[in-house]
Amino acid sequence: MLRRRLNRLCGGDEKRVDSRTIYVGHRPCPDTEAFIPSKFCDNRIVSSKYTVWNFLPKNLFEQFRRIANFYFLIIFLVQVIVDTPTSPVTSGLPLFFVITVTAIKQGYEDCLRHKADNEVNKYLVTVLEDGRSVKKESEKIKVGDVVEVVEDETFPCDLILLQSSREDGTCFVTTASLDGESNHKTHYTVPDTEKDLQALTATIECEQPQPDLYKFVGRMHIYKPEQEPAVRSLGPENLLLKGATLKNTKKIYGVAVYTGMETKMALNYQGKSQKRSAVEKSINAFLLVYLCILISKAVVCTTLKYVWQSKEGQDEPWYNQKTQKEKDTNMYLKMFTDFLSFMVLFNFIIPVSMYVTVEMQKFLGSFFITWDKDFFDPEIQEGALVNTSDLNEELGQVEYVFTDKTGTLTQNNMEFIECCIDGFQYKHRDTWSEVDGFTVTDGPVNKLQQKAGQEKEELFLRALCLCHTVQVKEAGSEEVLTDQVDGIDEMRPQLEEERGFIASSPDEIALVKGAMKYGFTFLGLESKSMKIKNRENNIEEYKLLHVLNFDPVRRRMSVIVQTKSGETLLFCKGADSSIFPRVKPEEVDRIRMHVERNATEGYRTLCVAFKQLSAEEYAVADTGLREARLALQDREEKLIAVYNQVETGMSLIGATAVEDRLQEEAAETMEALQGAGMKVWVLTGDKMETAKSTCYACRLFQRGTELLELTLRTLEDERLKREEKLRELLQEYHRKAVQDAPPVKAGVTRSWSTANQDYGFIIDGATLSIVMNPQHEVDASQYKSLFLQICQNCTAVLCCRMAPLQKAQIVKMVKTSKGSPITLSIGDGANDVSMILEAHVGIGIKGKEGRQAVRNSDYAIPKLKHLKKLLLAHGHLYYVRIAHLVQYFFYKNLCFILPQFLYQFFCGYSQQPLYDAAYLTMYNICFTSMPILAYSLLEQHISIEILLDNATLYREIANNAMLRWRPFLYWTLLGIFQGLLFFFGVRFLFSNPALQDNGQVFGNWSYGTIVFTVLVFTVTLKLALDTRHWTWINHFVIWGSLAFYVFFSFFWGGIIWPFLKQQRLYFVFANMLSSVSAWLVIIILIILSLLPEILLVVLRKPRGPHSRQMAAVTPLSYKHLKERY
């Protein structure tokens, strides 16, 4: 938010202009009107929130914006201003403590940010000024400066590459810290710039800063004396982003275009919106109830006070005269202050410490996730990562799991399986016998042992070798990258020379490697010419003319190359659906069969096509492409138009099948999640057949599952229009899955393995967009609700052909549906970020597709299989822990304050506190806080192994089961029961206050101390009863805090404290312990108040399968859990 404000400040007026003009090297240009040095923001990165001066006010302001803190502040102020029963210290001290700790934590974090900022801002960079290189601090770079960057340095701001030390005017860059892609990307200098940068006079016109890392549009005007100014288009390939690192290039010069907070990197780090967990919402609801209790208590007391006082002689008996000031006060004002006083007296019912404890529990608890060695993946040498600790308990509440397919369910570890050339199937085997490396299998399709012609084969393989954007890693370059190349290298030692390929997509590597197995080796790209080694070990060279990049809309890519002989060829590869319409129809049929069969086997298929371009055709395409690339506006659209125009009339030469293996234990994990009552939805950009086969492989769909398909294919109908058919199908499916299904019992008791027909639902992106945005607005809500109802009754849903944004749309739709279920998204790639951010819990997989997903996730795990433990064990435990923590906190404060409320009836509604101020303050901070904190960190009411073995246990806590109104009511009633018991038990004892064997009597403070002692012991023992997992820490903390209470009471009553105005508790505790009656009443009250709890635990019928297993553990004996080595 702050950054946005900053941007606005930096941007200033020029924000209104669509583009900015930059004078390279601040040199005025001859042609244009007078040189106006426009103001841009400087290159300082400010990520810190505070400065030394504004820290205190600003931090305090932000902290008191929280409702809870503000409430406590108000209470504190009331105590300071109004004459209240308890001293301001009792609420001021805890509040001060909380505020200070938070401030210190935030201050420290900000300090780190300052340090990091300084490191970046004070970094020395070389700037060319008037022909000299000047060392400057990074923050002093201005837009228009020409900056020098040497190898392995990061770029200090966004630069347009002007000059590179490499011959071909390129430089290599890794953007690992930006988007996680560790491959080397090639960036190009602006063509035709002068060798001598000093003589370069140019302006750059480019768009205003925007966060998209992969988009940049600009134009450079180069002015040369006595020449027309040359115009060059600038694209993302010319832009070097701040944060990226220069690799493999000695040094480069570039001109700064965006600086400081306007760099793409800074714009990309917009703070994530904070997610709130369901537990937090419950807390707020309970808080409201308690606030009502609090206010009604205060109102009741105030009313009764004035009723009582109206009786003669009660208000001001002779022994208890009011002060003059009190007498003078206005009656209504007095009523109001009385009300406030009661509020203050009872305010402990809403404890400050609960917030602290909850935060601490979340913060400390999340360490168990990072520490879990089961989440450690030896391959990437990393464990789980927790980005937010606010959502720990949400992991135990997940109802819908949205998973990506590629890289999440599958390994994204591509392996070339087979290909089909001209209708003939070629299956590669490791042990091939034939010289040329081909093995022809007799597929079911092709009974005859046939091979396509030699020519076709070679054309197909050349196409595989040429049509890609793979780079060959230079020998002897960084070691780090060797691991990054591909998993295949390690798994399968290759006979050919080790060769590292770098590509943005693993498919491409798999294809290039596949071609390699068949004898065609891609040697690399050097100054626009691609070299391949053919089967005869001859080097063939092709001049790379154009790359028509891959994009998810077109779902294909092409290259245009020129052979030695001067022929111009276009090779295109892409998804079947995008290739088939663009080739000759008669070629399609032969290959379609293969493609479909491969797809059902779960392979990723690509079709390869080619086209020979005549000189004229090429000339047209060339100019079209160049023009489109120069366009400042709508460049994307124009490019796509040209691409589509070029990629027509091709001839299909073959198809490839690449296997994407399932993740380890993917099926088991999915089964466990379904068993836990979660609905798993697969959202993928992949095609339906592939995705479906993955779903079968993962056992999301089973043999008995009836599939309801809602795709473009099923929508095709001669009679009806698409939308009508859609409505028809929706209604039919709805009848099947929703209306005919026997009504399922709501809640956790629902049995999963009913004999009901399981339904699986399949929808594709195009159909989804019709569902979401039908032609008639009126239908929208109807379609949506039908769709949702069907989905909710299906065990698994597969959404294929999804665009990233559609994924988020689906998540949002489910999230906002009836009952607002808790959703979880898991994915590994940049295309999953939107759904990760949208879902309640976002999980990133530290996969191959960069770190985008990890960075935007709430939790990151190395493998899909870890999701099972994360949800079933960690999530379950965290939920139980925090739910118990919350309920317990409200309960213990209710029975803490209830006696105090009841005491008002016996002290003339005078707001006399029952307990001493020290007890009031320390109750929540010291005496009862540690046991519950330890409980909420360590409790395992069911051991982790059992939780993992019985996924159904997860359902017992579904729908926020422990924080619903029923359990809340139970806890509240328990608190009320105990509070009444404490107060009246002691009240009856005090009907004769001579409790000592020497006839001496006890006073009001003894009364309070007895109640308080019973309270502390009962509340702690109640927790002890609830604890199912007694580690030494629990023992230490529970018995320790009871001992501490006793010790403290002795100590507090043992000394005449000089700073206290009244020595109320002097020897009260010791005297109490010298009275046998006090002991007896304490014991009986504790036992009596715990009795219903014990009874309930015993009588509650043990349910579910775990009870049996738990009983197997010998009761009342130490169970030493064996460590798994």
Residues that constitute the known binding site: 404-406, 508, 550, 573, 604, 684-686, 801, 807, 828, 831-832
- The distance of closest approach from Cβ of residue 918 to another protein in the complex, given in angstroms and rounded to an integer, is 15
1029 near another protein, judged by CB under 8 A = yes
- The distance of closest approach from Cβ of residue 1007 to another protein in the complex, given in angstroms and rounded to an integer, is 4
Task: Identify residues 213-242 at the interface with another protein (CB under 8 A).
Answer: none
CA 430 to chain centre: 42
SS3 category, 38: coil
SS3 category, 134: strand
Structure tokens at 203: 């302006």
Rounded to whole angstroms, how far apart are CA atoms 1100 and 836?
40
Selected from 274, 310, 537, 538, the binder of another protein by CB under 8 A is 274
Rounded to whole angstroms, how far apart are CA atoms 425 and 670?
34
> In 3D, which of 73, 44, 2 has the Cα closest to residue 259?
44
Selected from 36, 292, 619, 1087, the binder of another protein by CB under 8 A is 1087
Q: Are 480 and 513 in contact (CB under 8 A)?
A: no
Residue closer to another protein by CB (options 303, 912) is: 912
Angle between helix axes 1076-1099 and 965-989 (nearest 10 degrees) is 160
999 near another protein, judged by CB under 8 A = yes
Residue closer to another protein by CB (options 81, 116) is: 116
Rounded to whole angstroms, how far apart are CA atoms 997 and 1075?
7
1073 near another protein, judged by CB under 8 A = no
> In 3D, which of 700, 766, 771 has the Cα closest to residue 734?
771
Selected from 553, 641, 994, 1043, the binder of another protein by CB under 8 A is 994
- The distance of closest approach from Cβ of residue 364 to another protein in the complex, given in angstroms and rounded to an integer, is 10
Annotated binding site for Mg(2+): 404, 406, 828, 832
19 near another protein, judged by CB under 8 A = no
Stretch that binds another protein, among 284-292, 455-463, 582-590, 937-945 (CB under 8 A): 937-945
995 near another protein, judged by CB under 8 A = yes
Selected from 26, 140, 247, 272, the binder of another protein by CB under 8 A is 272
Structure tokens at 743: 């009504």
1050 near another protein, judged by CB under 8 A = no
Task: Give the per-residue contact string, 55-94, with another protein (x = CB under 8 A; - = no).
Answer: ------------------------------x---------
For residue 1028, CA distances in Å to 396, 880, 943 come to: 19, 12, 10
Q: Are 436 and 421 in contact (CB under 8 A)?
A: no
At residue 1061, what are phi and psi to the nearest 5 degrees?
-75, -35
Selected from 277, 389, 568, 959, the binder of another protein by CB under 8 A is 389
- The distance of closest approach from Cβ of residue 182 to another protein in the complex, given in angstroms and rounded to an integer, is 10
Task: Identify residues 98-157 at the interface with another protein (CB under 8 A).
Answer: 105, 109, 112-113, 116-117, 119-120, 154
Residue type, position 987, single letter? R
Selected from 71, 306, 376, 977, the binder of another protein by CB under 8 A is 376
Residue closer to another protein by CB (options 170, 347) is: 347
Q: Which residue has the tokens 């945005």?
A: 773
SS3 category, 203: strand
Task: Give the per-residue contact string, 290-329, with another protein (x = CB under 8 A; - = no).
Answer: -----------------------xx--xxxxxxxx-----
372 near another protein, judged by CB under 8 A = yes
Rounded to whole angstroms, how far apart are CA atoms 619 and 950?
67
Which residues belong to the active site?
404
Q: Are 605 and 655 in contact (CB under 8 A)?
A: yes
Selected from 227, 330, 381, 433, the binder of another protein by CB under 8 A is 381
Q: How many chain residues are in contact with another protein, going by CB under 8 A?
A: 139
Selected from 814, 1052, 1071, 1072, the binder of another protein by CB under 8 A is 1071
> In 3D, which of 1078, 1073, 1070 has the Cα closest to residue 1053?
1070
Residue closer to another protein by CB (options 323, 431) is: 323
Selected from 257, 298, 386, 864, the binder of another protein by CB under 8 A is 386
Task: Identify residues 601-630 at the interface with another protein (CB under 8 A).
Answer: none
Rounded to whole angstroms, how far apart are CA atoms 891 and 969?
10
Stretch that binds another protein, among 90-98, 194-202, 901-909, 921-929 (CB under 8 A): 901-909
Q: Provide the β-strand partners of residue 606.
A: 656
At residue 486, what are phi and psi to the nearest 5 degrees?
-170, 150
Q: Provide the β-strand partners of residue 539.
A: 533
Rounded to whole angstroms, how far apart are CA atoms 963 and 957?
9
758 near another protein, judged by CB under 8 A = no
Structural element, H or E, at residue 106: helix 88-121
825 near another protein, judged by CB under 8 A = no
Residue type, position 1083, single letter? I
805 near another protein, judged by CB under 8 A = no
Stretch that binds another protein, among 610-618, 731-739, 997-1005, 1013-1021 (CB under 8 A): 997-1005
Q: Are 989 and 776 in contact (CB under 8 A)?
A: no
Structure tokens at 168: 């071909």
- The distance of closest approach from Cβ of residue 683 to another protein in the complex, given in angstroms and rounded to an integer, is 24
Task: Identify residues 683-722 at the interface with another protein (CB under 8 A).
Answer: none
Rounded to whole angstroms, how far apart are CA atoms 627 and 623?
6
Residue closer to another protein by CB (options 785, 912) is: 912
